[in-house]
Structure 1
Amino acid sequence: MYDVRAVANFVLDVAEAHGRNVSNLHINKIVYFLHADFLVAFSRPLVTAKIEAWTYGPVFRELYREFREFGDASIVGRARYLDPETGRKKNAEWHFTCEEEEFLRELVRKYVSMTPGALVAQSHIEGGPWDRTWNHETKTNASMKISDEAIKSWYERTVKH
């Protein structure tokens, strides 16, 4: 499993190489769908971060906080973390295996070409993980966490997005 900030930086690197802009809303949806695809393909999570159901779909709180200064504009920086050894902020670096990188790179190209609105609509599909979390009938999911089990179960048995 990888730090969600490093995965976001990978998305931003690929998007930049293809001349695509990515907003905060966009990056959260792209990383969510990468996580879902990775769960199905590799039978393990891509990221360690918790995924929450927010109004506009699945959100990684770490990414939202990291990029909120950009609002709905294009992200022009990279996600950072505090290095415990130096006490300084450093860019989160991604280090995937060749197989993982190839798999993810192809998907990032696909997702960055989609509008944030299209990704939000896809994440809101009726009966999907976000919908079942957001529209739950009990108060047992106060954190609105979308579980990896719900994501994997849904995307294993549905038409891919």
Structure 2
Amino acid sequence: MKVQIGTEYSAMEIAEYAVSRRYRHDTPISNLQLQKILYFLQVIHASETGELLFADQFEAWPYGPVIRDVYVEFSDCGGFPIKREFDTEINDSIRPFLDAGVDMLAEKSPWELVRISHAEGSPWDVIYNQKRLHKGIIPNELIMQCASEVSE
């Protein structure tokens, strides 16, 4: 399966945009929430467009899918809200999708997002539980397959 990327952004740029948006709205998110928001934005975008939002690959960590470099960038915050602002430029064609997705997902508790990401048969479940590849790469092809099942 050939994986298409729908935007020119990296996971880090999308993460910075999400962190800034929630900080500006006085509802900052934690690193755990951020990781799950990135994951669900990726799946939703792929299910709606047939393309990935970004090329970075998730890893299957105990609390769900994680983009390692994003995790490391915000790890100094621990489990506390990330109170930072970035000047990430996002073009108008993708901004409404990001705004709606980030806001909707940020309303859910981090543990609800973890629970959903751990669903049986999810890309995380396949890598972490079925293949027992703890911190193993979740191939983008697996996310695309999940997204196509969601859109059916």
User: Which range, TM-score by smaller chain?
Assistant: 0.7 to 0.9
Q: Secondary structure at the match of 2:94?
A: helix
Report deviation, 1:159: 7.7
Q: For residues 37 and 8 of structure 1, what CA distance do their matches in structure 2 show?
A: 16
CA contact (8 A) 2:61 2:134 kept: no
- Cα distance 1:137–1:58, how it changes in 2: closer, same or farther (>3 A)? closer
Work out the number of aligned pairs and report it.
Answer: 145
CA contact (8 A) 1:29 1:57 kept: yes
Query: Which residue in 1 is equivalent to 2:88?
Result: 93
Question: Which structure: larger Rg?
Answer: 1
Matched, 1:146 2:146: no
Q: Secondary structure at the match of 1:52?
A: strand
Segment of structure 1 superposing worse, 14-23 or 28-37: 14-23
- Cα distance 1:145–1:92, how it changes in 2: closer, same or farther (>3 A)? farther
Query: Which residue in 2 is equivalent to 1:135?
Result: 129
Percent of aligned pairs sharing the same letter: 29
Query: Which residue in 1 is equivalent to 2:62?
Result: 55
Matched, 1:67 2:59: no
Return the match for 1:155 from 137, 143, 147: 147
Q: Secondary structure at the match of 1:158?
A: helix
Matched, 1:41 2:48: yes
Could you tell me the TM-score, scaled by structure 1's length? 0.80
Report the residue type matching 1:106 in the other structure.
A
Q: For residues 141 and 87 of structure 2, what CA distance do their matches in structure 1 show?
A: 27
CA contact (8 A) 2:52 2:144 kept: no
Matched, 1:104 2:63: no
Q: For residues 45 and 28 of structure 2, what CA distance do their matches in structure 1 show?
A: 23
CA contact (8 A) 2:60 2:134 kept: no
Q: For residues 116 and 60 of structure 1, what CA distance do their matches in structure 2 show?
A: 16
Return the match for 2:31 from 20, 24, 27: 24
Report deviation, 1:8: 0.7
CA contact (8 A) 2:30 2:80 kept: yes
Could you tell me the TM-score, scaled by structure 2's length? 0.85
- Cα distance 1:151–1:92, how it changes in 2: closer, same or farther (>3 A)? farther
Moved over 3 A (4+): none
Matched, 1:13 2:20: yes
Q: For residues 124 and 38 of structure 1, what CA distance do their matches in structure 2 show?
A: 19
Report the residue type matching 2:119 in the other structure.
I
